[in-house]
Amino acid sequence: MQKEIRILFVCLGNICRSPMAEFVFKDMLQKRGLSQRCHVESAATSFEEVGNPVHPGTRRILSQHGISCAGKTARRMTAQDYQDFDYLIGMDSGNLRAMRTICCGDPDGKISKVLDFCGDPSDVADPWYTGDFQATWRDINRGLSALMEQLFPETMNR
């Protein structure tokens, strides 16, 4: 039995981008029969939206693709998350700064930005400010496809 890979997606509020990443990646895993191989969660760097459900813009675009995020409410990440997860993946440079503060650095090199996985130094723009959930969807799918390929190269033609 292979070790379960633990992945935490992180953004500022945990209502728009990181829950989109959480539920898209869970869907990708399920479609490849890999759900048992990864544990996936998402969290916020701020306290702003703690306890609140996923933003309607993210809910809508997920549901258009047949993906449910029912029951998800925002939580703030903690220093303990650094011990509990193998990958802590933020959406933008501000997230990464805040994550390193919360985690007291990144001694194990676990923190990255989602578009790093496709060799793109860009941030995923925050649809809370831009209103463009479609652009968020495209960027997150690009990053997550590359993450999937890195973690499970043998499954890419499934």
Q: Which residues bind ligand 4NP (CB under 6 A)?
A: 11-17, 48-49, 126, 128
Q: What's the rounded Cα separation, in Å, for the pair 111 and 127?
A: 22
Q: How far is the CB of 13 from ligand 4NP (least distance, A)?
A: 3
Q: Which of 17, 69, 76, 123 is catalytic?
A: 17
Q: What's the rounded Cα separation, in Å, for the pair 52 and 40?
A: 19
Residue among 151, 148, 150 at smallest CA distance from 31: 148
Residue 113 or 151 with smaller CB distance to ligand 4NP: 113
Q: Which of 81, 92, 123, 126 is catalytic?
A: 126
Residue 32 or 142 with smaller CB distance to ligand 4NP: 142
Residue 76 or 151 with smaller CB distance to ligand 4NP: 76
Q: How far is the CB of 95 from ligand 4NP (least distance, A)?
A: 8
Active site residue 81: no
Residue 33 or 131 with smaller CB distance to ligand 4NP: 131
Place of tokens 């890979």: 5
Active site residue 11: yes
Q: What's the rounded Cα separation, in Å, for the pair 118 and 149?
A: 10
Q: How far is the CB of 72 from ligand 4NP (least distance, A)?
A: 12
> In a 3-state reduction of DSSP, which class is residue 89?
strand
Active site residue 104: no
Give the DSSP H or E segment for 135: helix 133-151
Q: How far is the CB of 19 from ligand 4NP (least distance, A)?
A: 7
Give the DSSP H or E segment for 64: helix 56-64
Q: What's the rounded Cα separation, in Å, for the pair 43 and 50?
A: 9
Show which residues are catalytic: 11, 17, 126
